[in-house]
Amino acid sequence: MPKYLLIYRDSTESQQSQPSPEEMQGFLKMWDGWFKQFEGKIVDMGDGLLPTGRVLQPGGVVADGPYVEAKEMIGGFSVVAANSYEEAVEIAKLCPIAIIGGAIEIREFAGYV
């Protein structure tokens, strides 16, 4: 079955105050629910990414910080198995990131390896 990479993009514009512990507990439960609902479909739960980073530019120039050209910054990723983009999108729609208003980029693995 084809695999898809879900790339979580947090908005860099609506950086409100930190989420409260109560909101975080709610969020934790949402992730638990999502993983349980799609148990066989989620190949790799992935990880979160810190907001720090480096960019190695051509010519060996190293810049601080992740690439922030867009209004969103990559905050994490997961890998799911699905029969089609449509199915992958359905799984992504129910992901907590989508529910709280984040964007998710969905890319099919080429399967070269």
Partner 1 sequence: MPDCHHRRCHRNPRVCWLRLIVDSTSQLVEHFFRHEYGRLVALLVRDLGARNLELAEDVVQSALSRALVSWPRSGTPTDPSAWLFRTAKNLAIDSLRRQKLADHFREVANQQTDAYEEASGTSPRFDSEIGDETLRLLFLCCHPAIAVESQVALALKTVSGFGVQEIAHGLQTTSATIEKRLTRAKEKLREHQLELGELTSAAILDRLDAVLSTIYLIFNEGHSATCGNSPIRLDLCWEAIRLAKMVAAHPLCGSPSAQALVALLLLHAARLNGRLDTAGSVVLLAEQDRTVWDGRLIREAMSYAQHAAQGNELSRYHIEAGIAWEHCRAASIAETDWARIVDLYALLLKRFATPMIQLNAAIARSYLEGPGEAKQFLLTMNDVDRKRLRPWWD
Q: Which residues of 98-111 are buried (b: 16+ CB within 10 A; e: fewer)?
A: beeebebeeeeeee
Terminal Cα-to-Cα distance of the chain (whole angstroms): 14
Candidate residues 3, 12, 35, 53; the one interacting with partner 1 per rule CB under 8 A? 35
Residue 51 sits in the site that holds partner 1 (CB under 8 A) = no
Q: Which of 14, 15, 18, 52 is in the footprint of partner 1 by CB under 8 A?
A: 18
Q: Which helix (H) or strand (E) holds 88?
A: helix 85-93
Nearer to partner 1 among residue 14 and residue 57 (C-beta): 14
CA pseudo-torsion sign 56, 52, 5, 90: negative
> Least distance to partner 1 from the beta carbon of 23, Å?
6
Member of 2, 53, 76, 102 binding partner 1 (CB under 8 A): 76
Sign of CA dihedral 96, 99, 104, 109: positive
> Shortest gap between Cβ of 46 and partner 1 (angstroms)?
8
Binding region for partner 1 (CB under 8 A): 16-33, 35-37, 45, 47-48, 76, 93, 99-101
